[in-house]
Structure 1
Amino acid sequence: KDDLTTFDYVELYLNLVYAYEQIGDYKKANFYSSLAYEYSQKLYNENLSDKIREIETKYNITKVEDEYKEKSKQLEERQSRNKKIIFIFVALFGFSLVLFYFFYQNLQLKQRNKIKELDSEIQENIINASIDGQEKERKKLSEVLHDNISALLSSAGLHLSAYLVGHKDEIPEEILKARSLLKEAHDQVRDLSHELVPPVLAKLGLYYAVQDLCEKNSNSIINFTFNYFGSNQKRYNEEFEIKVYFIITELVNNIVKHSKATSGYITLEERNNQIIINVEDNGKGFDSTKTYNSDGFGLTQIKARVKNLKGKITINSKLNAGTLVYIKLHIPDH
């Protein structure tokens, strides 16, 4: 009973209403209809709370951007003040012109480095805030599609099928088309829910989700091999599993779309309360020593994800020699 969701209660009471109406017990049907309405209102309130949390996430992103602008402004004002000080010293102490010139250049360099560091930090925070919001929205939307909309479509289909059983001799074509459209809508909602957050990840865990990912992306052109060193029954924190899964998914997508590889290798290993991820391919590779290349193919977002998890990432790649991505993440306690 404790495992039932609010939607499960709504569906349960609606089915009871239908059942008691069929046997003619309208008193009980009315009682369960009231309960179904009560839980429908509760479900509406829960969905409303989710929308409020979504607005809060967007507000936090805006707040981070405002803080970045304010800090940049302060740094620019400080730089302007430093320029004035330097010019005064140059005017008063002409003999020290060269000395102050170097001091000024050094100060300028530090200011630029600080701005770059601040810009990099703010950009990472914005990326991570966006990613966290996207992952939460993925999970919640997947749950709503699967637990609410998909279930409602299934229930409507069952009611329609029950009606058709009692009217076998006279079945309007419109009713048959409606049942077909309901089934198609149910299948599309189910597929979309699985794309947002794979059910194997939620039900079985990271090991089986990555194994399924390799199987789905293997074909006659490229084959993915998965190795895991640890217990395949081990479950981690749900949020941690989702973040790790989408990091690996993004790397696999890069291999499929860009590498022109024929083989991909994914290895997961649990060691010293850390999870080690190796993603390798035999594709065309790129020059990982060049920043503009190594930050392509969504690697900037992957680096931000890893840093947000307080992990380390190393990318080794050479032209026509494949790519190896090594990631080390600390496993959260809870």
Structure 2
Amino acid sequence: GSGAALLVILLLLFVNFRHQRKLQKQRINELETEKQLTATEAVLKGEEQERSRLAKDLHDGLGGMLSGIKYSFNAMKGNLIMTPDNAQAFERSMDMLDSSIKEMRRVAHNMMPEALVKFGLDAALKDFCNDINQSGALKVSYQSIGMEKADIHQTIAITIYRIVQELLNNSIKHAEATAAVVQLAKENDQLSITVEDDGKGFDVASLQQVQGIGWNNIQNRVEILKGKLDVQSTPGAGTSVFIEIKT
């Protein structure tokens, strides 16, 4: 009798010990994931701060210098006597200078869009889609639902903006799409982002192996926002990405 009771007690202790070890292992895994996410978040935050600093340096520093050079050239033009060939070369140089200023502004704008800081996510995404449409690289249709009075924290807004930027770049460079749809919708505290294209698509099972497409960046950013990511795609039939987060 006492031997059987001891055996039952030992068995219960062993089961309890195994359960505790399992819980401990689970907690260690959770902490590891948390640590990785915190590290990733710190890296992405550092990247954003660096982008913001570079954008400001480009716009205010280099932009100011180039505008100053253009002003000096224009002032010189009135005081110079030039041959037709020299005048043509001078105009070409002025055009190149104008192109450089435009390109510098475009780069600075991509690094830290002014609309995002001043007017929020909805306006910034609308601007970004318009820029792509004007470039002729892709025909993008942008829709927003319930965003009229939405107040989205700037960190979340920047992260979502980068995700959409990455997804549309994929549509252009890798999927070779001709048309895309971007939808931003807010209902209560749920924010959803949908990006669809008519590109060549891929096998979702091989998502981790897809090279040079920045899927890691997208997944990391969604995880940082504690969101859900759903990717639907089949070779030859386009791609649909749905993201849902709590704001």
- Give the TM-score normalised by structure 2: 0.69
Distance between the aligned counterparts of 1:223 and 1:170, measured in 2? 45
C-alpha distance after superposition, 1:272-328 (max 9, x if no partner): 13322122234424235x673599843332232223234x22314253454332222
| Correspondence 1:275 to 2:188 | no
Aligned 8 A contact 1:214 1:224 in 2: yes
More relative contact order in 1 or in 2 (CA 8 Å, sep 6+)? Answer: 2
Does the C-alpha gap of structure 1 residues 184 and 262 become closer, same or farther in structure 2, counting only changes over 3 Å?
closer
Of residues 312, 315, 333, the one that matches 2:230 is 315
Q: Which runs of 5+ in 2 are unaligned?
A: 1-11
Aligned 8 A contact 2:222 2:229 in 1: no
Aligned 8 A contact 1:150 1:190 in 2: yes
Number of residue pairs aligned between Structure 1 and Structure 2: 231
Does the C-alpha gap of structure 1 residues 192 and 158 become closer, same or farther in structure 2, counting only changes over 3 Å?
same
| Correspondence 1:201 to 2:113 | no
Aligned 8 A contact 1:266 1:279 in 2: yes
SS in 1 for 2:174: helix
- How far did residue 141 of structure 1 move? 1.3
Q: What is the aligned partner in structure 1 of residue 59 from structure 2?
A: 146
| Correspondence 1:256 to 2:169 | no
| Correspondence 1:168 to 2:116 | no
* More strand per residue: 2
SS in 1 for 2:74: helix
Aligned 8 A contact 1:200 1:209 in 2: yes
- How far did residue 127 of structure 1 move? 1.9
Q: What is the aligned partner in structure 1 of residue 47 from structure 2?
A: 134
| Correspondence 1:326 to 2:242 | yes
Distance between the aligned counterparts of 1:183 and 1:316, measured in 2? 42
SS in 2 for 1:134: helix
C-alpha distance after superposition, 1:152-192 (max 9, x if no partner): 32123323433443x23479x7x959x74754543442232
Of residues 179, 187, 203, the one that matches 1:286 is 203
**What is the correspondence of 1:225-264 to structure 2 with a 5 Å cutoff?**
225-231=141-147, 236-264=152-180
**Root-mean-square deviation (Å):** 4.2
Distance between the aligned counterparts of 1:281 and 1:191, measured in 2? 24
C-alpha distance after superposition, 1:80-114 (max 9, x if no partner): xxxxxxxxxxxxxxxxxxx9999999898777756
The amino acid that maps onto 1:252 is: L
C-alpha distance after superposition, 1:230-286 (max 9, x if no partner): 355866444432222111111222233333545422211121133221222344242
Distance between the aligned counterparts of 1:152 and 1:318, measured in 2? 47
Does the C-alpha gap of structure 1 residues 159 and 215 become closer, same or farther in structure 2, counting only changes over 3 Å?
closer
Percent identical pairs in the alignment equals 27
Aligned 8 A contact 1:261 1:284 in 2: no
Distance between the aligned counterparts of 2:145 and 2:136, measured in 1? 27
Aligned 8 A contact 2:129 2:140 in 1: yes
Distance between the aligned counterparts of 1:295 and 1:111, measured in 2? 36
Aligned 8 A contact 1:145 1:193 in 2: yes
- How far did residue 116 of structure 1 move? 4.7
- How far did residue 229 of structure 1 move? 0.9
Structure possessing the higher radius of gyration over alpha carbons = 1
Aligned 8 A contact 2:177 2:197 in 1: yes
SS in 2 for 1:284: coil
Aligned 8 A contact 1:229 1:268 in 2: yes
The amino acid that maps onto 1:141 is: L
Aligned 8 A contact 1:303 1:313 in 2: no
